Structure 1
Amino acid sequence: MEKAKFNDQTTVSTVNSNQKFPITDPSGNITLVSLDVLKKAIADGLNLQAIEDGIFIMYHRTSDGYPLMVKPYKWPSIEASGEVADGVVVFEGGRHIVVAPTEATALPWSSAAVQGDNINYGNDDNFATEVTGNNRLAAMLDFNGRQHTDAAIKASSSAHVTNTASYAPGYCRAYSRANSKGKGLTAGYWWLPSVGESLMMYANALKINYALSLIKGATQLDLGTWYWTSTEGSSQYAWGLYFSDGHLSLWLDKVQDKGHVRPVSAFLR
């Protein structure tokens, strides 16, 4: 009788609880183990709850438009019932943001040099509570993304466009997530994150990507590229954050440079 070969077997995408896995010891002896036993062995010593610490998936309930948020592990069954995710909620340091499920790539900040907010210029050695010039410390404490996006949109004109989906602020302002009843975080509720808000995403990127992996159609944060922020340094430059190593740079030209854009919002009705 010819023995079965592994490469002759059918490949499956799911494992049933009654199926067994063959394992071998150093002497070549084969033992069959259950799925539950294998899971426990792989997870031994790991804190699997940590992947969901401070992370939720938000949605507006279709029946009444009420905003709710649940732990990520609950989302697949809720989504299967017809609900639509607004995004991933991140809580950190007494603040929260809602991270959009999708993003734009390779967008400029504006069509020409433009000043959104009024900024007093300074340097890294002259710390101020207001975001100023190339003051990195002040930029990191900037959580006013919505205000900055409002200012950038207001400053838009035919000479320097910012308010269309072809540019970072306009893309975020036009972003929308609506359920079958048209409720949700729709256009006008989203903004281009500030440096502080972007750092919240960077610090929780792995957990955010885990939650995003559970949302149908969502795209994960790209951990190898630049993301625009709404924190300006001048009419020519805005701050950008490199999600590969946390490099925070002011020297991204609003017109010449192109970056990824991930809108954020808040837990809003």
Structure 2
Amino acid sequence: MATKKTKTLKDVTTVSTVNASQFIPLTDASGNTTKVSLAGLKAALLGGINLNSINDGVFIMFHRKSDDYPLMVKPDKWPGYQSSGEIAEGVVVVEGGKMLVVAPTEADSAGLLWSSAAVSGGGKTTTDRLTAMEDWRGKASTAAQIKHAECNTASYAPGFCAKYSRTNANGKGLTAGMWWLPSLGELFCIYANMRKINYALSLINGATQLAETWYWSSTEYGATPAWGLYLDDGYAGGYTKAASKGRVRAVSAFLR
């Protein structure tokens, strides 16, 4: 009598991709085995789910090159616009009745100092974490801070953001002077939507995603430190302006 040989899982060839000729076996309650394709399984699992709703509240903005009109589109619509030559100026986040544009790129990954020396920049200043978290005055604070020579160059966080620029093929869009260093409250808004923002950034040519490390804010702790926020665990603390190098990502407003 012949002996039936059974192939164990370890003897099965491992593949890294699935093609149309490959199937997954399924067994029903009666022990009957059927097969289903990957596409069929995916359709069954995702049936009734609107994947676009996962990215609600996040858009990609640009100034249309035909007439320089500012628009923002849902992430799934962006590849079509980009292929026609449009240039993204940022990712729009709509949160709590506020709108914030997050820049597609940031300062060098090595980070920047906030200033060259201890300086009272004139922005929102507090040592209380909860008060700092409620600060949404990033634009006004940055405008005050860049009046000081200690932080008014692209080598320092406030100056870098003030000089940041994104434009369309006509040179129109969110130019230098329209961007600012986000306040701690604005950074928390970015942190709360980080996954969705990074997905939108992944669709923009040349964009860099937000990193799970700490970023400078325009909210000041005092003359020597300013507030920073970790985008991995939400830790907020004061860092020495002239000694600590943190990531820097500029933000702006949509309607310009």
Please report how far the alpha carbon of residue 178 of structure 1 lies from its aligned counterpart in structure 2 after TM superposition.
1.0
- 3-state SS in 2 of match to 1:228: strand
Q: 2:113 aligns with which of 92, 98, 108?
A: 108
Structure 1 residues 246 and 87, CA, compared in 2 at 3 Å: closer, same or farther?
same
Match of 1:143 among 132, 136, 139: 136
Q: CA RMSD in A?
A: 2.4
The within-5 A match list for 1:237-248 is 237-248=225-236
| Contact preservation (8 Å) 1:59, 1:84 | yes
2:89 counterpart SS class: strand
Deviation at 1:44, TM superposition (A): 5.4
Contact (CA 8 Å) 2:23, 2:38: kept in 1 or not?
Answer: no
- Give, as a single letter, the amino acid of the residue that structure 2 aligns with 1:108: L
Cα displacement (A) at 1:110? 0.6
Which residue of the partner structure matches residue 24 of structure 2? Answer: 23
Aligned twin of 2:204: 215
Say whether the 8 Å CA contact 1:185–1:268 is kept in structure 2: no
Q: Deviations over 1:40-98 (max 9, x none)?
A: 23435866234211111100000111100011100001100000001000011111100
Task: Please say if residues 58 and 86 of structure 1, whose CA atoms lie closer than 8 Å, have aligned partners that are also in contact.
Answer: yes
Q: Where do 1:130-209 residues align within 5 Å?
A: 131-156=124-149, 161-209=150-198
The count of corresponding residues between Structure 1 and Structure 2 is: 240
SS of 1:101 mapped into structure 2: coil
Q: Distance between the aligned counterparts of 2:84 and 2:163, measured in 1?
A: 27
| 2:52 is the counterpart of 1:49 | yes
Task: Tell whether the 8 Å contact from 1:20 to 1:32 is kept in structure 2 after alignment.
Answer: no
The percent identity for this pair of structures is: 56
Stretches (4+) displaced over 6 A: none
Tell me the TM-score normalised to structure 1 length.
0.82
Flag structure 2 segments of 5+ consecutive residues without an equivalent.
1-11
- Inter-CA distance 98–46: structure 2 relative to 1 (3 Å threshold): same
2:93 counterpart SS class: strand
Counterpart Cα distance in 2 of 1:47 and 1:247: 33
TM-score (norm 2): 0.86
Unaligned runs of 5+ in 1: 119-130
Which has the greater radius of gyration?
2
